[in-house]
Each structure stands twice: as structure tokens, then as C-alpha cells.
Structure 1
């Protein structure tokens, strides 16, 4: 596993963090626009098109809003999986090889270029272990 990003932010304040895989054509972005938190899979420049989007939280429903939180974006060694951790808890993961994303709330339906999936699979600890086993 490669820790690509380690920062702090406050839930509900405008936040934008990105991480681009150095050996491939993709990356990820975490954004809090003051109302919601989203994790995006993106294609590299030019254009940085959105491949998929995962809803992480609604600010109004977060008990930690107004407090400083830690955020990490962690990649597998082959740069095919990118995980979003907030306060050391994995909220979402993108699988670039299979062009799909998983989140704890299984929302929203497929978005962006990968948006051909109608049902989102909920990220569980067991699924996380399965996805990352051997990575």
C-alpha cells in the first residue's frame, strides 16, 4: 500500500484534495463543498473527466462537523485501487481495473463515464479485505 496523501480538514468547510497515479491515466479527488463530501475517480489531464462519483456524507449528518479530521488517500502498489480514509476509517474505494466504486452507504448510482451500473455495492469490512487481499 502506498500512502499518497495525508492531510487534515474540517467537515463542512470547502475542501479539495487530489491524488494522481504516476504510472497510469487516472486519479482521485475528495471534495467537501460545505454541504456534502464526495470522492471522485478521474481521468488524467487534459480534461480530468469524472469517471465515477461516490457520496461520502451530508455535512448535516456528520457528528464530527466543525472538528479537524485526518484524511488519507491510499493506493495499492499497482495503482489500481484508491481508498479514502477519514480518521483512519475507510469510507470508499475505487477499483480502476474493474471500473467500479464502493462506498459505505452504497450511494449514489453510477455517475460519470463509468455510470453504466444501476446498483452500487455497499463497502463492508469483509468486501474491503477481499478487494485488497494480496495487494
Structure 2
């Protein structure tokens, strides 16, 4: 994924799956994403903070009970494209989700949940290697 250059790391930290975690990343243009582990599930959110906090879209990342290596520290990175219109969630150097603020789309590895609300303009939310490659060529 290059989108006019490269991905820029805005957040890079260690966390433990299954422990209460809240990590936000705010782009200079006002776009905001949040990763949350509530001790049962991991979710990635697109958020609007213009008037309080409003969730625009949510992407399921994992169920803690189903993660094999949950007892090991994990590395989370939130990366943005140079134009700050796409945010990428990487855990242990694996892309799990992408929010595209320009096209109002969210993608994750299991495509869950189905789009709810009126922010997301797409139906197929499944993040595939082909989709990542497509973004890389834009």
C-alpha cells in the first residue's frame, strides 16, 4: 500500500491480548481511529470527534478466546497513508483492518460486522490480500 508514497506509523506499542486496552490515533486532518480490547474482543473503530465521540464504523478483529498466542506480548501499529485518508491496523506485522475515510469504507479479515448505519458506503467488508494490493497500487 503506497497511496502517494508510503504508510506512516502514528502508533507503535506493545499490548497484551485480553487485557483492557484503548489506543487511539488522530490524523492531522481530524480523521480518528481507535483500537479497543475489552478483555473479550478486539475491535477497530472509525470515530468522529467533532461533537463528543461518535462511532462511524466498527470492525471485528478477534475474539480473545480464539487467539492461540494470547499470553505473549503483541505489537500494535496504527499507520496512515500520507494523505491521512486511510488508516491501517497492524498487529504483529499483519494487516488486520483498513478504514478508508475518502470512500467511507471499512475492511477486516472476517468482514464482520455487516455495515450498520449510514457512514459505510460498501457491502463487502472482507479484507483480502488482493484488496491490500489494490490499495498499494493507488
Normalising by structure 2, what TM-score?
0.89
| Aligned twin of 2:9 | 3
CA RMSD of aligned residues (A): 1.5
Which of 53, 57, 64 is the equivalent residue of 1:48? 53
Q: Unaligned stretches of 5+ in structure 1?
A: none
| Aligned twin of 1:33 | 38
Name the CA shift for 1:69/1:122 in 2 (closer, same or farther; >3 Å).
same
| Aligned twin of 2:77 | 72
Query: For the residues of structure 2 that align with 1:101 and 1:14, how far apart are their CA atoms?
Result: 23
Which of 86, 99, 102 is the equivalent residue of 1:97? 102
Query: For the residues of structure 2 that align with 1:7 and 1:112, how far apart are their CA atoms?
Result: 31
Runs of 4+ aligned residues of structure 1 deviating over 3 Å after TM superposition are none
| Aligned twin of 1:18 | 24
Q: Which has the higher contact order (CA 8 A, sep 6+)?
A: 2
* Deviates further, 32-41 or 104-113: 104-113
Which of 61, 68, 80 is the equivalent residue of 1:63? 68
**Is 1:125 aligned to 2:129, yes or no?**
yes
Query: For the residues of structure 2 that align with 1:83 and 1:124, how far apart are their CA atoms?
Result: 13
* 1:26 to partner: Cα distance: 1.9
